[in-house]
Amino acid sequence: MSPQTPTIPIATIAPRSTSDVPTAKLIELFSAIQGEGANCGTRQIFLRFAFCDLRCHYCDSAHTWTAPETCAIEATPGQRDFEIQANPVTLDRLLDWIDRQNRPRLHDSISITGGEPLLHATFLKTLLPQLKQRTGLPIYLETGGHRPELLDGLLEHLDTIGMDVKLPSSSGEQRWSAHAAFLRRCVASSTEGSGPQVFVKTIISAATTDDEIAQIGAMVSTIDPQIAVFLQPVTPLATDLRDRNQALRSDLYQHQLAPTPQQVLDWQTQLKQHLNDVRVIPQTHKMLGQL
């Protein structure tokens, strides 16, 4: 565990009122185009939960690390006409807001994201089956893949999981054993016929090493070489490059600098020796200005 990583008790993540009504702390709910992974380019309802117990260097959602007193709820899909609502949010209110977003033929799926949404596992066990019943939409979980113990009771309600591999060089985190355990649970559930399709995505930067790429290949090929792996070159945020001279003197700059085309080609070649599906895509949500 990174020295910067906070320990957040699960009991504080999914609070309940005195009447035992399920509640959760949100960041936002909105309609947008998915920018990463296997669902890239599709239209989704994004349900973004508060709290994260990681502190990745390249994070573009640092505002999710803690919970605000309010959350932003889009009134009209894709129009960014946000209403400010109080946290925590009850299950019934959240379902009503999602119903309002769920226009006919507009969305391909619902993205459960964060932060780290699995920190709300207790709430999700109640939410997910009702979400599927009311919307009829596939449910996609976007997760850091470092909390396999929180998957209990969730896998049968999910259609797709995108697991982020946190490379130490670009994220500052190191979660290899947890990632492997997470993938094994997903694959075992899928093999039994009651689980989601899982894919792996990872942010690569100028600081990424050949050894890290080899470790991804070894981990995924040992568990299931059919799992798709998406390599995503980091997109530096404008705020990170405001003063390039200062950034060049910073130890963190290499984590924010995109790899060269040759590095990316070499890493894809390296992984394809062991895996059947290795793709390279940019962080398109940043290119579209959807942060």
Rounded CA-CA distance 104/94 in Å is 19
CB-based contact 255:170 (threshold 8 Å): yes
In this predicted structure, which of 136-140, 167-171, 272-276 has the lowest mean pLDDT?
167-171
The pLDDT tens digits of the residues spanning 255-273 come to 578 899 999 999 999 999 9
Considering only 41-50, 123-132, 238-247, which range has the smallest mean pLDDT? 238-247
Residue 80 has pLDDT above 60, yes or no: yes
* pLDDT cut 70: percent of the chain above it: 83
> Taking the mean position of all CA atoms in its chain, how far away is CA 164?
7
Output the six-digit token pair for 132: 């599927």
Highest-scoring range by mean pLDDT, 6-20, 87-101, 245-259: 87-101
For residue 144, give both structure tokens.
Answer: 């850091």
Nearest Cα to Cα of residue 128 among 103, 97, 96, 91: 91
Assess whether pLDDT exceeds 80 at residue 169: yes
Name 146's Cβ contacts closer than 8 Å, sequence gap at least 6. Answer: 54, 116, 166, 173, 175, 178, 179, 182
- Tell me whether strands 229-233 and 278-280 are parallel, antiparallel or unpaired: parallel
19 pLDDT above the threshold of 60: no
pLDDT of res. 273 = 96
Over range 39-58, report the average pLDDT.
92
Alpha-carbon distance 70 to 48, whole Å?
Answer: 13
Tens of pLDDT, residue by residue over 190-204, are: 877 778 999 999 999
Domains with residue ranges and CATH for the chain: 20-287 (3.20.20.70)
Could you tell me which residue, 20 or 243, shows the higher pLDDT?
Answer: 20
pLDDT attached to residue 286: 60
pLDDT score for 226: 96
β-partners of residue 280 are 231
Packing angle of the helix pair 210-223, 261-271 (nearest 10 deg): 30
Give the global pTM.
Answer: 0.86
Write out pLDDT tens, residues 222-254.
999 999 999 999 876 554 444 444 444 445 455
